[in-house]
Chain A
Amino acid sequence: MELKELYQEIILDHAKNPRNKGKCNGYNHDAKAHNPLCGDKVHIYAKLDVNKNLSDLSFEGEGCAISLASASILTDTLKGKDLQFSKKVTDDFLKMLKNKSKITLNSLSEDQITTISSLSGVQEFPMRIKCATMAWHTLLAAIEKKK
C-alpha cells in the first residue's frame, strides 16, 4: 500500500475544506464521540424530517485528515437521503473497511461511490481504521438518539 493511496487528492480536499461543518439549523438528532488514543473528536448533527429523510446533516470535530475527510464525505453523501438508505450506506461503508468489500449501491452516483471508496485505503493501516469509522458509528448513534 502506498501512502499516496491513503492520502488521495479527494481525501486531502475534504480534510482541508470539510463540507457541512458546524451545527445545521433545526437538527433534532445528534451524537458525539472521541478517540482517547489520539484525541480525535466528532459531533454529528442530523435533521430527520417527517418523511424519514436526513434533510440536513452536518458535523463538528477536530482530528487527523482521515477522520475529518470521513466526516465530511459522510455528510456530503447522505445529506438529503432517506434514513433506511443512509443506514445501508453506513453499513456498506463499515463493511468495506472491515471485510474489504466494495460499495455498489444503485442509488449512489458513480462520483459518490468513488468518493466513499477513496477511504478504502485505510484498510491497509489497521491503527487508522477507527479514524475513518468514528463519524459513521456516530451517525448511527445520532439516529438512535433524539435531541
Chain B
Amino acid sequence: MNIKNIKSEFPIFEQKVNGKPLVYLDSANSSQKPRAVINRISNFYETEFSNVGRSVHSLAVKATNRFEESRDKVKNYLNAKHREEIIFTKGATESINLVASSFGEKFIKEGDEILTTELEHHSNYVPWHFLRQKKGAKIKFAPVNDKGEVGIDEIKNLINSKTKIIAITHISNVTGAIVPIKKIVDLANEKNIPVLVDGTQGAPHLEIDMQELGCDFYAISCHKMYGPNGLGILYAKKKWLDELPPYQGGGGMISEVLKENVTFADTPTKFEAGTMQTAEVVAFSEAIKFIEELGIKNIHNHENEIMEYGIEQLKKNNSVKIIGDPKERGSVICFTMKGIHPHDIATILDEDGVAIRAGHHCCQILHDKLGIPATARASLGVYNSRDDMDKLSDAINNCKKIFKI
C-alpha cells in the first residue's frame, strides 16, 4: 500500500458522480472508508457477531474478545497509559457531552469558569452551555486573531482562579489553525486545570500521543479517521474516570442493582451503558491499521503538500478569498467568492463531481466574528491529489462562468 495509489483502497471512488470522477473534498465532515474497514464490518457480522460482555456462549466470547482487542489497539495508537482510559462513544460530540455532564456535575459550581475559544465547533460549546444553564457557570472565549488562530497568550490572559477546565480544539475545522495544545497543557498543568481537547480534526491528520500531549481528555470521531460512522472515543486519564459519576444509566454499566441502591461497574464499563456499537468498534481496528501502515506522518505530509498546492492555485483566482492564514494549517481550506454565495458554489461544484461543504460548518460564533454568514470548505484526506486541486480550481472558474462574473 502506498499513498500515491491509495484511492484504489477506497471503493467509493469506483463510481462517477454526475458523470464525473469523484473529487471528494469533504473529509473534515466525514472521511471515506477503505475496503478493509468495510469488509471487516460484513465479515464480523457474518462470522463473529454477538452482543459483547454479557453472554457466555462461544460467539459472545469471540465478539467480546474482538471488541476488547480494539480497545487495546486504540490504547496503543494513542499511547494511553491504561486500556481503561479508552471509552467508546457514538462520536466526539458524545465524548464531550460525557465530560461536560459528568465532570460538570462533580466539579463545577456557580460562578466557576469554563475556558474555551472562538474557534470551537458547536459540539465543544453547546455541552458547556448546558452546564452554564444548569450550574450558573461562566464560559470564557479566547479570541481568534486575524490569521484565524488562537495563541497561548490569549489563553493565558483568561485563566484565573475560577477556571475549572479548558476545552479547546486541536485543529479548527474552518481556519485550519493547529492549536498549540502541548503549550496550553503545560500552562494549565502549572495551575492544576484539566484540559479537554476536541480532537475531531486533529486525530485524522496529526500524530497524537497522550503521554506527550499530556491532556486530561481527548475526544475523537472515528468516522473522520477512515473508521465506521456512529463511533467515537473518549480518552480520559484514569484518575478522572475513577472519580467521575456515570454519564448514562442502563445495562452493562452496573455492578449491583437493588431496589434501594445501585452501584456501578469500574471504568471503562461504567461509561458504556447499553448495547455498544459492536461491528463498528471491531472494524475501527482496521482503520487504525490502515493509518499505521501508511504512517500518520506520511499522511500529514502528503495532505500538507496537496493543501499548499491547492491554496497556491486558489490564490491565482482573484475572485477567491481564503479564510484564515494560520502559521500551521491542517488540511482545511475555507474560502468565499465575490458575488457567489457558498451554497451556490457547492451546488455548481457538485455538477463537476467536486464534493465540498458550504455553510457555517457548525461554527457560528467564529463566522459571526469573521463577519461572514457562510464559507465554502474544501477539506482533505489521504486520497486527495494535485489533480483534485486542479479540478477544484476549474470548477471554481465554472462558478464564475455561470454567475457571469
A interface residues with partner B (beta carbon < 8 Å): 3-4, 6-7, 12, 16, 37-41, 62-66, 125, 127-128, 131
Contact = CB atoms under 8 A, between A and B. Distances in A.
B359 A39 contact: yes
Most A CB contacts (10 A, CB to CB) among B347, B358, B373, B403 go to: B347
Contacts of B360: 38-39
Contacts of B359: 37-39
Contact of B343 (A3, A4, A12, A38): A38
15 contacts: A3-B351, A3-B402, A38-B343, A38-B358, A38-B374, A39-B360, A39-B364, A39-B374, A62-B373, A63-B373, A64-B342, A65-B403, A66-B344, A127-B347, A128-B347
Contact of B403 (A12, A38, A39, A125): A12
A65 B341 contact: yes
Interface string B342-353: 111001100100
Contacts of B364: 39
A66 B347 CA distance: 11
Contacts of B339: 16
B404 interface: yes
A4 B347 CA distance: 12
A16 B351 CA distance: 22
A3 B341 contact: no
A1 to B, nearest CB: 9
Contacts of A65: 340-341, 344, 403
Contacts of A37: 359
Contacts of A64: 341-344
A39 B344 contact: no
Given A38-B358, A39-B374, A63 B343 contact: yes
A7 B344 contact: yes
A74 to B, nearest CB: 18
B370 to A, nearest CB: 12
Across the A-B interface, give the 4 residue pairs with the lowest CB-CB distance, nearest first: A64-B343, A64-B341, A39-B373, A39-B374
B367 interface: yes
B347 A41 contact: no
B347 A6 contact: yes
A127 B347 CA distance: 9
B352 to A, nearest CB: 9
A39 B348 CA distance: 18
A74 B265 CA distance: 61
A65 B44 CA distance: 47
Nearest to B352: A3
B18 to A, nearest CB: 10
Contact of B402 (A4, A38, A128, A131): A4
Contact of A63 (B340, B341, B347, B367): B341
Contacts of B342: 38, 64
A39 B341 CA distance: 11
Interface string B322-365: 00000000000000000111111001100100000011100010
Contact of B347 (A12, A40, A62, A125): A125
Nearest to A16: B339
Interface string B366-405: 0100000110000000000000000000000000001110
Nearest to A3: B351
Contact of A7 (B358, B373, B402): B402
B343 A7 contact: no
A115 to B, nearest CB: 19
A8 to B, nearest CB: 10
Nearest to A2: B351
Contacts of A40: 343, 373
A7 B341 contact: no
Nearest to B362: A36
Given A12-B404, A38-B343, A39-B360, 9 more contacts: A3-B402, A7-B402, A12-B403, A37-B359, A39-B374, A64-B341, A64-B343, A66-B344, A125-B347
Nearest to B402: A7
A54 B11 CA distance: 56
A131 B358 CA distance: 13
A18 to B, nearest CB: 13
A39 B360 CA distance: 7
A63 B373 CA distance: 8
A133 to B, nearest CB: 14
Nearest to B364: A39
Contacts of A12: 403-404
Most B CB contacts (10 A, CB to CB) among A3, A62, A125 go to: A3
Nearest to A128: B347
A32 to B, nearest CB: 14
A131 B343 contact: yes
A41 B367 CA distance: 14
Contacts of B344: 7, 64-66
Nearest to B348: A3
A66 B342 CA distance: 12
Contacts of A16: 339
Contacts of B358: 38
A62 B342 CA distance: 12
B402 A39 contact: no
